[in-house]
Amino acid sequence: MKTAPLETALAAASDDLQKTPLHALHLELGARMVPFAGYSMPVQYPAGLMAEHKHTREAAGLFDISHMGQLRLVGPDAAAAFETLMPVDVIGLAPGKQRYGLLLNDEGGILDDLMFFNEGGDSLFVIVNGACKHSDIAHIQARIGQRCQVQPMPGHALLALQGPQAASTLARLSPGVERFVFMTGGAVLIGGIAAFVTRSGYTGEDGFEISVAAADADALARLLLGQPEVKPVGLGARNSLRLEAGLCLYGNDIDESTTPVEAALGWAMQKVRRSGGAREGGFPGAEKILAQLTAASGSAGHIDHETLKRKRVGLVALERIPVRDGTLLESFEGVAIGQVTSGLLGPTVDRPIAMGYLALAYAEPGTRIQAVVRGKPVPMEVCTLPFLPARYWRG
Amino acid sequence: MTIQYTEDHEWVRSESDAAVVTVGITVHAQDALGDVVFVDLPEVGKHFDQGEVAGVVESVKAAADVFMPVAGEITEVNEALRADPSLANSAPMDGGWFFKVKLSDAAQLAKLLDETAYTKFSAES
């Protein structure tokens, strides 16, 4: 038996990996640690991926996501400057609110996806992917470092508390925290520990992401784990939870070779930055991306397959066979039409689900295609995302 | 009844009928994989050489090939495992067996690892 991804990951574990402030706690909890984004991270705890996944859907799961990058952009020009890097409305984001963003390269490819929060006082709090954080900070510094202060926050840990019981649990320790609706947040005390919370996450569930000083992270995690609803959840379940929620994993589903339009992330590009908007364009790759948006809308009277060739879609396998990352997708005539970028047996939906890119002609929900798994065709159907309805708290 | 092991983390159990052996994945293997959600079993009657890929076992987080530990013909596959892949986790050494093989070359058995050697190998790998 050769467990390629897992055993390779285990074998690659070495001392030069960074440790999060919760490393000792993970070991104490019996976590299986793997290298991820340059860190030693818990892939699962003794309960196992399935149990951790289901616990998050039913109660509340605690995730250590301290490998992610946190930074601030500060100064009166910070929002306007940051807007030049993304096809997103940054200037219009009200204080106390959070938004999804996409850093683009000059070809319109995605350098990273991120969350940003308007702290007020000319300060944006930004969370980026762990594997991209050094290149992101360098990119941001190079492009807009003259217009605002770029302040990395390596001294902060990041936790996520996710699940239908996350809010009631956190409110017990931080009365009033339940007032925040999805994509808002603020500074709070949790059992006396100063933290910055946003009501957001990466599981499709209600919940919070909690930024805390590294020195306080262990105490905060233990306090949360001491609540009866809360169990620790590793990166394995984080991946299956986010895929059921239809959320992209940077490096799998989106990367420098994919544009936001191809990635079906048009919802992240507000009207004000689109053709005809008050601040139309003015971001890297704008010409290409705005043309792709027009092509996708069919406003020329037809879908323009030359300008927009492929699109990210959801897929379900019609047989109970998992279809994994990298699997070739074909028409029933055997013509290659795309590739799977994430795929597994969804623990809650209890069927094989995937995301991938398909030639535009095959990207409509309901279209049937086939995946080539170990040389054998497995029928799949294009479906709408997410695979499970999101349960965000919008008030 | 003797149980032997491969460096690919399969076990091979010799039945009373010495010509047929039962094959499964080890406790160590299922632990490394985590919750098994899918198995792909070979066709009964098909012949495989030693080391050929005869099946697949998948957890939510990883897929792994199951290699043929000895050359031979598949005489039976575990339909109960196909229906409930979690048997590979809950009973890897008995109810979670994968397939039975009619040996082509019984001498290959002698070269597999015994329990002591496998335990040492899996602890080091």
Residue with tokens 């319109």: A108
Question: What pLDDT digit, counting tens, does each position of B13-26 carry?
Answer: 997 777 899 999 99
C-alpha pair distances (Å), B117 with each of B8, B29, B110, B111: 13, 16, 13, 11
Nearest CA in chain A to B25: A1
| Low-confidence residues in chain B, pLDDT < 50 | none
Half-sphere exposure of A277 (CA within 13 A, CB side): 17
B78: CB partners within 8 A, 6+ apart: B41, B87, B96, B97, B98, B99
pLDDT in tens, A75-98: 999 999 999 999 999 999 999 999
Residue A11 has pLDDT above 70, yes or no: no
Distances (CA, A) of B79 to B48, B56, B82: 20, 14, 5
Residue A232: pLDDT over 80 = yes
**What are the pLDDT digits (tens) for A290-344?**
999 999 887 766 777 788 999 999 999 999 999 999 999 999 999 999 999 999 9
Q: Does the pLDDT at position A183 exceed 60?
A: yes
- pLDDT at position A15: 61
The residue of chain A with its CA nearest to that of B37 is: A345
Q: List pLDDT tens digits, range A52-76.
A: 999 999 999 999 999 999 999 999 9
- Mean predicted confidence (pLDDT) in A25-52: 96
| pLDDT surpasses 90 at A281 | yes
Look at strands A39-44 and A18-19 and give their pairing: parallel
pLDDT of A4 strictly over 50? no
User: Exposed/middle/buried for A150, CB within 10 Å: 0-12, 13-18, 19+?
Assistant: buried
Q: Is B116 on the interface with A (CB under 8 A)?
A: no
B92 within 8 A of B99, measured Cβ to Cβ: no
B57 neighbors B39 (Cβ within 8 angstroms): yes
| List of residues 6+ apart from A13 with CB closer than 8 A | A33, A34, A35, A40
B2-105: CATH topology? OB fold (Dihydrolipoamide Acetyltransferase, E2P) (2.40.50)
What integer pLDDT is reported at residue B60 of this predicted model? 85
Residue A244 to residue A348: CA distance in whole angstroms: 8
Contacts with A56 from chain B: Cβ below 8 Å: none
| CB-based contact B65:B59 (threshold 8 Å) | no
**Nearest residue to A236 via CA among A203, A197, A201, A199:** A203
B residues 56-95 closer than 8 Å to A (CB): 56-67
- Cα of first residue to Cα of last residue in chain B, in angstroms, is 27
Does residue A273 surpass a pLDDT of 90?
Answer: yes
Pick among B25, B37, B39, B52 to test the A interface (most A CBs inside 10 A): B37
Strands (E), A28-162: 32-36, 39-44, 60-64, 69-74, 98-104, 110-120, 123-128, 149-152, 156-162
Catalogue all structural domains in chain A, each as residue range(s) with its CATH number: 1-233 (3.30.1360.120)
- Overall average pLDDT of the A339-353 stretch: 96
Note whether B35 contacts A43, CB cutoff 8 Å: no
Edge-to-edge strands, sheet with A207-213: A185-190, A193-198, A207-213, A156-162, A60-64, A230-232
The residue among A225 and A9 whose pLDDT is bigger is A225
* ipTM tops 0.90: no
> pLDDT value at position B15?
77
pLDDT, position A38? 95
Report the pLDDT value the prediction gives residue B61, as an integer from 0 to 100.
80
Q: Where are the domains of chain B?
A: 2-105
- The mean pLDDT of A140-167, rounded to a whole number, is 98
CA distance A291 to A261: 10
Residue A359, pLDDT > 50, answer yes
pLDDT, average across residues A126-154: 98
* Sheet with A110-120, side-by-side order of all strands: A98-104, A110-120, A123-128, A69-74, A149-152
**Cβ(A379)–Cβ(A316) below 8 Å:** no
Lowest mean pLDDT across A6-15, A68-77, A162-171, B4-13: A6-15
Averaged pLDDT, A29-33: 96
* Residue A1 pLDDT grade (very low, low, confident, very high; cuts 50, 70, 90): very low
Is the Cβ–Cβ distance between A117 and A97 less than 8 Å? Answer: yes
Q: Residue A355 pLDDT more than 80? A: yes
Cross-strand pairs, A114: A101, A128
Pairs of CB atoms within 8 A across A/B: 73
Which residues on chain A place their C-beta less than 8 Å from a C-beta of chain B? 1-7, 10, 43-44, 48-50, 53, 236, 239-240, 320-322, 324, 344-345, 347, 374
Mean pLDDT of the residues in chain A: 95
Residue A10 has pLDDT above 50, yes or no: no
Rounded to the nearest angstrom, the minimum Cα separation between B3 and chain A is: 17
CA A256/CA A267 separation, integer angstroms: 19
